[in-house]
Structure 1
């Protein structure tokens, strides 16, 4: 049952990635929408769930929030370290690229995109685990969780392809990460036959991942979206992305 539901998430993830691939002529709108989807997922889905399942306080602060901040700082640190390494080992090529006007990715390292996409894959695997856990509980829980996961996996596929491509990775790598992200819920759901992840551990992971995702949305995706096209339509796409996640969370919560 859980694996069959996860197959729905598989198809929705591929659909999201396909959509991201075929709107390249409106790149700023794609990035604006991706940023809104990511903000919505973090603020309306991941963080509330992290606080619910890992609400234990550490020195007066919920552990989930500490991990959220740690995830944000970790993403920033990883990007800075990789950018510094690229500058040290590829300064000559970088200057040459800028001389020829190829400046779209001058401050971006492909490794950051791959790491971010790998985190999305890990998150999708946890989605599959959530489906499996809900199936074990039974009742209406599995329908609610399945609706939430399948709906927002469209956004996951969209974001996975967009993030990987944004950092200058080849299209084949972006597609490979998209396929991995699509398969992850199925693998996660199947794993619940053998393993059950404790709720506090799952909540801590969601907090950490949420912080990293927020960094990518606020510091990378949205500034890039408005860099060359600071249009009202881009802002509307961002708002629409966040509103879509709100709708998904609301429908799932009332299910």
Structure 2
């Protein structure tokens, strides 16, 4: 039950992250810059290390987790090319923000749903860590609760970025907030195989990296190519480095 109570803290932090994203208003370019930094930090300092630790077996000389990482990146790239989101040069990124087609909105919903899935895995991580011992559980709980602020922030931002209305964004934010509690509760019944968890984390890391570098960063810099936006991205990466460092 301790794991479920800790997951409730993750629930609150996720909502706080989404509320901050919602309240930024005309500072949208700064929000996107920060979101990209947080996502890059999550991929580099959290998802990939966890994926490699859980699925280190190699296939033709490459860890399976990294193969899934590449697969995640390529899958979202193929999807975006198929729906012709990109127009061929950065000057047109701003235009696609204002003319969202249903398929483009679906990309945002899919990405947000993947973040919800990641938050379920966060709950699994909390539950499994407390099964391993109180000290391990506390360390993992600190990391998860801290970076669930970024999860809530990113869930709301990504959903809105692709033209979905506020109601959808808030609905997915609520789902993301409830996800860690769900994941932690499920671990009271059984645990997910470590190998499968590692493969999922690798795939999701690639998915998230593509969104951060191919969509969110260009979108952040197209209307306001400023040093402040770049600084927000650097701060997002540094924040995730600090969070993971404190928890390790």
Report the CA distance between 1:103 and its aligned residue: 5.0
Q: Distance in 2 between matches of 1:139 and 1:175?
A: 34
Q: Distance in 2 between matches of 1:118 and 1:40?
A: 20
Asked which structure has the greater CA Rg, the reply is 1
Bigger mean CA deviation after superposition, 14-23 or 195-204: 195-204
Trace 1:239-250 onto structure 2 (pairs within 5 A).
Answer: 239-250=234-245
Equivalence for 1:233: 228
Q: TM-score with structure 1 length normalisation?
A: 0.90
- CA contact 2:100–2:163 (8 Å) conserved in 1: no
- Equivalent of 1:211, from 170, 192, 206? 206
Q: Distance in 2 between matches of 1:26 and 1:42?
A: 25
Equivalence for 1:146: 141
Equivalence for 1:47: 48
Trace 1:10-29 onto structure 2 (pairs within 5 A).
Answer: 10-29=11-30
- CA contact 1:12–1:151 (8 Å) conserved in 2: yes
Q: Distance in 2 between matches of 1:103 and 1:2?
A: 42
Report the CA distance between 1:83 and its aligned residue: 4.0
- CA contact 1:82–1:111 (8 Å) conserved in 2: no
Q: How big is each residue's C-alpha offset from its partner over 1:72-123, in whole Å with a ceiling of 9 and x where there is no partner? A: 0011122233448xxxxxxxxxxxxx9xx97524476100000000000000
- Equivalent of 1:179, from 174, 183, 186? 174
- Name stretches of at least 5 consecutive residues in structure 2 with no aligned partner: 86-91
Q: Distance in 2 between matches of 1:105 and 1:116?
A: 19
- CA contact 1:16–1:155 (8 Å) conserved in 2: yes
Pairwise CA RMSD: 1.7
Equivalence for 1:104: 97
- Name stretches of at least 5 consecutive residues in structure 1 with no aligned partner: 85-97
- Paired positions, count: 239
Q: Distance in 1 between matches of 2:135 and 2:72?
A: 33
Q: Distance in 1 between matches of 2:77 and 2:111?
A: 11
Q: How big is each residue's C-alpha offset from its partner over 1:225-253, in whole Å with a ceiling of 9 and x where there is no partner? A: 00010100000000000000000110000
Equivalence for 2:127: 132
Moved over 4 A (4+): none
Tell me, yes or no, if structure 1 residue 199 matches structure 2 residue 188.
Answer: no
Shift of the 185–121 alpha-carbon distance from structure 1 to 2, 3 Å rule, reads same
Tell me, yes or no, if structure 1 residue 169 matches structure 2 residue 170.
Answer: no
Q: TM-score with structure 2 length normalisation?
A: 0.93
Q: Distance in 1 between matches of 2:206 and 2:100?
A: 21
Q: Distance in 2 between matches of 1:220 and 1:32?
A: 11
